[in-house]
Amino acid sequence: MKADIKEILFNEVKIEQRVLELGRQISADYQGKDLVLVGILKGGVPFLADLIRAIDLPLEYDLMAVSSYGASTKSSGTVKIIKDLDAGIESRDVIIVEDIVDTGLTLQYLQENLKSRRPNSIKIATMLDKPSQRKMVIHPDYNGFEIPNVFVVGYGLDFAGKYRNLPFIGVLKEEVYS
């Protein structure tokens, strides 16, 4: 599996350090608030798991599954909710926890959908931001790392369901997905 990786962008240590920094920032920003993190399945799970342990506040988390990719390397542009929240978010402070923001189509759809449920606030935490691919105006409030226009896997990110279990974030060799 590692033979399919062209280069490692962020190793385990860098990821852990950045998640701890984000956790401290969120802890400071949400003192005294009714915080719920909404993790986006499947890719956001490792980031969500590490982030909730790095936040020093009472919080809840819930999970949503949405799809805009399928088995492709490019977004289809159509977002589907496959699994919705189990609990309400009305009058709560929500942070959407996502693995990567690229086109912004999924997050724009999610923000609009969740806004209709009347939370106090909605912010975005992402492990990776790929602004060169942005089609919608989306600015993550809590951003792990900005990356160039490369296809990345690991730490929850996949290609056709594989590579999510890599403990680092790396660039997938083009011959693997072309």
User: Using CA atoms, how far apart are residues 132 and 148, in angstroms rounded to an integer?
Assistant: 7
Q: Which residue has the higher pLDDT, 68 or 46?
A: 46
pLDDT digits (tens, 9 = 90+) for 92-150: 999 999 999 998 888 999 999 999 999 999 999 999 999 998 888 899 999 999 999 99
Catalytic residues: 102
- The predicted structure's pLDDT at residue 2: 82
pLDDT digits (tens, 9 = 90+) for 73-96: 555 567 889 999 999 999 999 999
Q: What six digits make up the tokens of 76?
A: 């289809």
User: Using CA atoms, how far apart are residues 159 and 171, in angstroms rounded to an integer?
Assistant: 11
| CATH number assigned to the domain with residue range 12-147, chosen from the 4 options 3.90.420.10, 3.40.50.2020, 2.40.30.10, 3.40.640.10 | 3.40.50.2020
Mean pLDDT taken over the chain: 93
Q: Tokens 């909730």 — which residue?
A: 52
Query: SS3 for 118?
Result: coil
Average pLDDT over residues 155-168: 96
Portion of the chain with pLDDT greater than 90, in percent: 83
- The predicted structure's pLDDT at residue 76: 53
Residue partners of 126: CB distance under 8 A and separation at least 6: 97, 98, 99, 100, 101, 140, 142, 143, 144
Distances (CA, A) of 49 to 11, 23, 39, 40, 178: 17, 11, 9, 11, 32
**CA 66 to mean position of chain CA atoms:** 12
- 155 pLDDT exceeds 80? yes
**Domain-by-domain residue ranges, the chain?**
12-147
| Burial degree of 37 (CB within 10 A; 0-12, 13-18, 19+) | buried
